[in-house]
Amino acid sequence: MAIRQAAARAQARAALTLEDYVEGVLSGNRAMLGRTITMVESRNPAHQELAQEILLRLLPHSGQAHRVGITGVPGVGKSTFIETFGCNLTRDGHKVAVLAVDPTSTVSGGSILGDKTRMADLSADPNAFIRPSPSSGTLGGVTRTTRETMIVCEAAGFDVILVETVGAGQSEVAVADMTDFFLVLMLPGAGDELQGIKKGVLEIADMIAVNKCDGENDLKARQAAVHYRNALKIMTPTSANWQPPVLMCSGLKNMGLDALWEKLCEHRDTLTGTGKLPAKRRFQQVHWMWQMLEDRLMTRLKSHPQVKQQLKSVERDVADGHLTPTLAVSRLLSAFQND
């Protein structure tokens, strides 16, 4: 029975046309939204070709949403924060999409994809859409298609896009490069507060929010906020027109989230008024193009027959000290170019 149902679903998807996908997304059809994102995420060459045609049609209908990246140290309560924050926004009339990137196991290749269970209330909200996607080992834990999924969600009418990072490696930088506002959640009283965060995260943060400031944590949260404010004073802000604020909040108790949203809107108004927001978006698009080009070239390089034939021996010679890395690169590039 399950096999027949899966086959029937596959046949139904195969019968869908370009117009079906585009019109389905623009009408806000949730089933078509999910199918379109699945098409965008597919590695099937035919699916990728169709996905790009769909995206070209959807591009004119995107770009108006608040794009917010959210990261935080382990245990900071990102899921609780995002659920409460998202529910607040939908109650105020916004449509919220959460793109939560789950880490993919380097051993099994599997991914937890548990965000819908961790955000039960938000996932049941008709004005919210949660899309957990496996990182699939991509740089920074950001999926290969997160940017394109943002376009699809915006075309479907979602005016707030929250991109949650896995909080590992270069994920913070990768998400900051595709969003308008980058929020860093921190814990109060986690020992030496400044010791647990990387300088690079502070440099790209548009705001720091000390979460879990309720109850007995109030004093610790205030002390942590002072530490972060002092640290930010010696950092160069991401924009000359914006000094990153430090706020206190509680996702569990729904405290301070309205003030946080007001600051986020103030940031958008500031960047829009100075022309920095459209300039930032244009820069991000070009940067994305170069990232995609590098990824494609690296994929073609590693899959090239002559390169694959020499790769293991070249790696062995470099490891054994018989060949310099520079000469090894030249040898592999020569094999790639002599097609």
Strand order in the sheet with 207-210: 128-134, 96-102, 160-164, 66-72, 181-186, 207-210, 246-248
* pLDDT above 70 (res 142): no
- Strand, helix or coil at 210? strand
Both tokens of 111, joined, read 């991914």
Return d(Cα 105, Cα 43) in angstroms, integer. Answer: 19
Strand-pair partners of 214? none
Q: Find out whether 57 and 22 touch, Cβ atoms under 8 Å.
A: yes
Mean pLDDT of 307-322: 95
pLDDT, tens digit, 9 for 90 and up, residues 148-181: 999 999 999 999 999 998 665 567 788 888 999 9
Beta-ladder partners of 162: 68, 98
Model confidence at 197, pLDDT cuts 50, 70, 90, reads: low
The DSSP call for residue 199 is H
What contacts 140, CB < 8 A, 6 or more positions away? Answer: 165, 168, 169, 170, 171, 172, 173, 174, 175
Domains, the chain, in order of start with CATH, read: 2-58 (1.20.5.170), 63-274 (3.40.50.300), 285-337 (1.10.287.130)
Give the model confidence (pLDDT) of 214-245 as tens digits.
Answer: 888 889 899 889 888 888 888 777 778 899 99
Number of C-beta neighbours around residue 183 at 10 A: 24
For the chain, percent of residues with pLDDT exceeding 90: 56
| 71 beta partners | 184
State pTM to two decimals. Answer: 0.84
Predicted confidence (pLDDT) at residue 269 exceeds the cutoff of 80: yes
Q: What is the mean pLDDT of residues 233-259?
A: 90
Q: 11 pLDDT band (50/70/90 cuts)? A: low
* Residue 20 pLDDT greater than 80, yes or no: yes
